[in-house]
């Protein structure tokens, strides 16, 4: 199972908490997924017994690790401030760091991401950076102290799956000892299985479950896909071949 900053998580599936039809559906979907981590976006709400308290109690009742998220932040200052708020709210040094650089694709700002990560790590945070599969960017993130990388599969919420198989495979090969999580763009259980077959440690998704016709059934499907993909990777799968090879032995075939 994946180990994030010294904490072993019981599941390779991480699940977001936004956009579900109702709190009860959210809770049922989490139970069906057996997800080990819930990501929670931080919003600027009143403290005390104001808006957001019921939601926080629901998340606590899930009994899983919480990974606060700086979703929607478009500057280093905004992301760092949001992370500091999250640490106070959720009493954790974990932070999923997003610094969005492009409004249409929601692609991360690589320069702002490295800057924000460096500031947060110096301040004692355990940073989970939402990034692209660019090797140079990932090297910079590791150099400033990130011990987990979360490259996207495709733009957030698109459900397109793994757009750059070569890039993701290269990232896995280049950083064999760094926990890698495919984050964003996963739409089907088959996408998740494919990510696990590439040797990734975990996957994070939200929209594909929350916006499904039956979120609970879809959560279960993703849970099974994660398990299948991980088992396949551990089983040392065969390599693809350019030519057909008979699976039935020719030796002993009757000669007519």
Q: Could you tell me which residues are annotated as the binding site for 1-deoxy-D-xylulose 5-phosphate?
A: 157, 184-185, 206-207
Does 220 qualify as catalytic in the annotation? no
Report how far apart, in Å, the C-alpha atoms of 39 and of each of 17, 161, 172 are: 6, 20, 23
CB 112, CB 79: distance < 8 Å: yes
Distance CA 242, CA 177 (A): 31
* Residue-wise DSSP of 170-231: HHHHH-TTS-BEEES---SHHHHHHHHHTT-SEEEESHHHHTSSSHHHHHHHHHHHHHHHHH
Separation CA 193–CA 191 (nearest Å): 5
CA distance readout (Å), 221 to 27, 41, 103, 218, 249: 16, 24, 31, 5, 37
* Catalytic member of 96, 211, 220, 253: 96
Contacting residues for 26 by C-beta, under 8 A, at least 6 apart: 17, 20, 58, 210, 215
- Residue ranges for the known binding site are 157, 184-185, 206-207
Give the catalytic positions in this structure: 96
């Amino acid at each position: 199972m994946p180990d994030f900053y010294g904490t072993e998580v019981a599941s390779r599936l991480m699940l977001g908490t936004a956009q579900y039809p109702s709190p009860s559906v959210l809770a049922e979907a989490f139970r069906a997924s057996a997800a080990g981590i819930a990501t929670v976006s931080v919003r600027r709400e009143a403290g005390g017994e104001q808006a957001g308290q019921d939601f926080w109690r629901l998340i606590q009742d899930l009994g899983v690790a919480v990974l606060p998220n700086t979703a929607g932040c478009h500057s280093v200052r905004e992301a760092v401030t949001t992370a500091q708020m999250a640490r106070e709210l959720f009493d954790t040094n974990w932070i999923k760091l997003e610094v969005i650089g492009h409004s249409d694709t929601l692609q991360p700002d690589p320069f702002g991401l490295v800057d924000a990560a460096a500031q947060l790590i110096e301040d004692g945070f355990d940073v989970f950076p939402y990034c692209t599969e660019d090797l140079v960017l990932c090297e910079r993130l590791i150099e400033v102290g990130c011990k987990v990388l979360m490259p996207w599969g495709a733009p957030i919420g698109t459900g397109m799956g793994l757009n750059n198989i070569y890039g993701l495979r290269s990232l896995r090969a280049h950083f064999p000892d760094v926990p890698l999580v495919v984050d964003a763009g996963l739409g089907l259980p088959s996408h998740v299985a494919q990510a696990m077959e590439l040797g990734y440690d975990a996957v994070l998704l939200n929209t594909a479950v929350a916006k499904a016709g039956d979120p609970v059934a879809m959560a279960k499907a993703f849970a099974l896909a994660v398990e299948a993909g991980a088992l396949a990777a551990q089983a040392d799968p065969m390599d693809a071949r350019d030519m057909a090879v008979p699976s039935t032995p020719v030796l002993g075939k009757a000669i007519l």
